[in-house]
Structure 1
């Protein structure tokens, strides 16, 4: 089976003393919190890690015993209370708002200033070999630490970072959800520390081909590590449901029911099989598009084979993925695609759009990539793929097994931590430079010509 060249060679890598910045890091949290903790925990198994997090998360991290050498809690006092109030009042607890990313800028800067004041003496005294800013993952949220450490005494590394994905044109789904603030993205480069973060960093770790393309001027210190998400290999099933892979196709979508997720394209593409009772489609999640999708299912005369269970506990979502044959995930604009990681790990064959994070993760032996063209062509391609899998259960079964193997070996938190470890060893002069190029840079360049572009973000001196 073809697998990406990830350059993993750090089995006997020297132990580094890492000061790891991860404001949002909580094993009991979601989104960035869980990403921060999971990645930091695996790095702590390879190196000596001192974790710098928000004070509210210290107790939760200590209770998990993640193997950290030290945990430093940072509090912003009244600023924290103001941030929490604004998040509830204006952002309605919506973690996915682009406006929230802009709003968070000032609070992340304040957090790192406090962290620098608290830990500066230890850094200067030589207690650490390097500083790694792990989260936030947004590329437009800079780090003052890069500027503070521009003359040493230790190198600064940032990533995996993500973002900067342009908005596709010609899709009503994307037009409905695009926020006005995305047109102002280029203004970030005028914010304090925006230029120095990437200019002074010893290494930049990008989580997508699109992000690699955005920072291509730093190619000599730019590395690709797939997505900001990861999976736990212990969650991968030891055997597949229905080894013969016969019967009707079990289709699934998991995610927020927002316009840009384009679940309507999945419904239209699956409709021919659904009408003939050759497939069942479970749409896990909720959001403003749910009522529209339920009406569409009735209009297409497939409602009898489409289930909308709403949001489910994560453990049940994993069970549903393990019971599914195919993940239909035609999201038009997705950075990380964490559900694609989980689908591969659980044996569901992903059908994704060849754009953004999912397009980087999926390759031809474990899933299918639908070209970002137009609605009718994409629906036709989804229909073609599903008919192919319905006719060839043997191919489906092979791809499910190969996907599980691929997820275990290349998408696990452990595997990703080893990739990052190789980069950190190179930065500190204790290892060779790893070969970690983006897998889909050509497609990223081609797609930039047919999407709504935020102005190119450059970080000149």
Structure 2
């Protein structure tokens, strides 16, 4: 492209995890393919700036509020520094940048739908997303909501804001393209008149290496129990209790083991349930483990179990795919869209007992079908490499920018 792309992304950080890391990775992949101008915020508590990370791009950034006394979970949920970013970015867009020299813009991060974009109403075509979240708890599990932290209930106001908040509505209605992580995002925004909607997950699967082929072959050849793997924060919505109840119904002759990686407030409850269901010899709760150790568990697992009942997207699904693992997941939210039949089984969430029974049925079937496990694992690896890699994501957005720039030039 002859004119640059404006990337608007407030929270980018290569030393972080989750959203800041995927925003950084995506920006780097795009900056390697085309000229970019970047509008961002300096990462908190780091000794580097965004400009240091993108030496070939023009970078506008400002320092965040420190807010060191704000608890990490509040930072993660409410992102108080987004207000500072919005005000600073709006000023730069209106007074320091010549928007007529820019092909189009792309605002990505935060993932949540509750943050207005500083690009709204400025006349430049922009894409926004991937976006997700604001996913309601399935009605069959609504009675369990009281077990969630109090601050999760602020999500209940999202629907009202989508219908009545003028800044949010103009953010999405002004966008040339809204990109959601899955089709449910379009349903959440059904009260708005969107110009264009597409789906693309925010997480890129790591490109499978030759060691993944070796892992798939090793799984087929080794003896011993079939190993299920859960990687999740131990909170109610991750559905681990339902997975344990499903596992407790498996036939006693079935040879399997479940490894649960992760920590969280529900860990004592999960360990107590495991013991109460007499699964102590079959289920190991490892707690928090280092990143390298997580990869070892992916390599040694046979099946990835992801029973989350309210998952907007599901980063670990793409990790499992990159390791060539068949997946059992809930047929709801992001996994309902991302987990395809060729490499996954989705359990319906319309009834709690049926959900547990479907997980148990899938677990038993895959334990007894090694050839199908192998075929599904290979399909997962191919999907990670061909469709869900960082290169595939960057190419998708470069093509999207070209279409937005073309529509802008045609309207001039």
Q: TM-score, normalised by structure 1?
A: 0.80
Partner residue, 1:231 = 205
364, 370, 373: which one pairs with 2:350? 373
- Please state how far the C-alpha of 1:235 moved relative to its aligned partner: 5.4
How far off is 1:276 after superposition? 4.2
1:402 & 1:287 partners in 2: Cα distance? 32
Distance (whole Å) between structure 2 residues aligned to residue 169 and residue 268 of structure 1:
20
Give the direction of change, closer, same or farther, for the CA distance of 1:371–1:264 in structure 2 (3 Å limit).
same
The 5-angstrom pairing of residues 324-335 of structure 1 reads 324-335=301-312
CA deviation after TM superposition for structure 1 residue 400, in Å: 0.6
What's the secondary structure of 2:213's corresponding residue? Answer: coil
The match for 2:317 among 324, 330, 340 is 340
The answer for the alignment partner of 1:73 in structure 2 is 61
For residues 45-97 of structure 1, what are the alpha-carbon distances to aligned partners after superposition, in whole Å with 9 as ceiling and x for unaligned?
2221222221236826556x557523322125xxx13x443x22xxxx11696
CA shift at 1:268, angstroms? 1.7
**Match for residue 281 of structure 2 among 288, 301, 304:** 304
2:161 pairs with one of 166, 171, 188: 188
> How far is 1:174 from its partner?
4.0
Matches of 1:254 and 1:121, distance apart in 2: 46
Q: CA RMSD in A?
A: 2.5
Alignment of 1:92-131 (within 5 A): 93-94=72-73, 100-101=77-78, 104=80, 107-121=81-95, 123-124=97-98, 126-131=100-105
Q: Deviations for 1:190-230, whole angstroms, at most 9, x for unmatched residues?
A: 445222111211111111111022234545411111x2211
- 8 Å Cα contact 1:245-1:394 kept in structure 2: no
CA distance in structure 1 between the aligned counterparts of 2:314 and 2:356, rounded to whole angstroms: 20
Are positions 1:385 and 2:362 aligned together? yes
Would the aligned equivalents of 1:252 and 1:282 in 2 still touch at CA under 8 Å? yes
Deviations 1:98-135, CA, capped at 9 Å, x for gaps: xx33x63xx42431321232354553264422221111
Q: Corresponding residue for 1:287?
A: 264
Report the Cα distance in structure 2 between the residues aligned to 1:411 and 1:233, rounded to whole angstroms: 9
Show CA shifts across 1:237-295 (max 9, x none).
23223333654211011111101111011112123458546111110001111111111
TM-score (normalised: structure 2): 0.89
CA contact (8 A) 2:330 2:346 kept: yes
Q: 1:169 aligns with which of 126, 139, 143?
A: 139
Question: Could you say which residue in structure 2 is the equivalent of 1:133?
Answer: 107
* Residue 213 of structure 1 pairs with residue 187 of structure 2: yes
The range that moved more, 137-146 or 282-291, is 137-146
1:158 aligns with 2:117: no
1:438 aligned residue: none
Secondary structure (helix, strand or coil) at the match of 1:160 reads strand
Q: Does 1:35 align with 2:22?
A: yes
Structure 1 residue runs of 5 or longer lacking an equivalent are 1-13, 432-461
* 2:37 partner SS: strand
Distance 1:219 1:196 in 2: 10
1-structure distance, mates of 2:54, 2:283: 41
d(CA) in 1 for partners of 2:320, 2:278: 27
In the alignment, the residues of structure 2 paired with residue 55 and residue 94 of structure 1 have an alpha-carbon distance, to the nearest angstrom, of 20
Residue of structure 2 equivalent to 1:18: 5
d(CA) in 2 for partners of 1:390 and 1:344? Answer: 18
Matched, 1:142 2:130: no
Q: Cα distance, 1:183 vs. partner?
A: 2.7
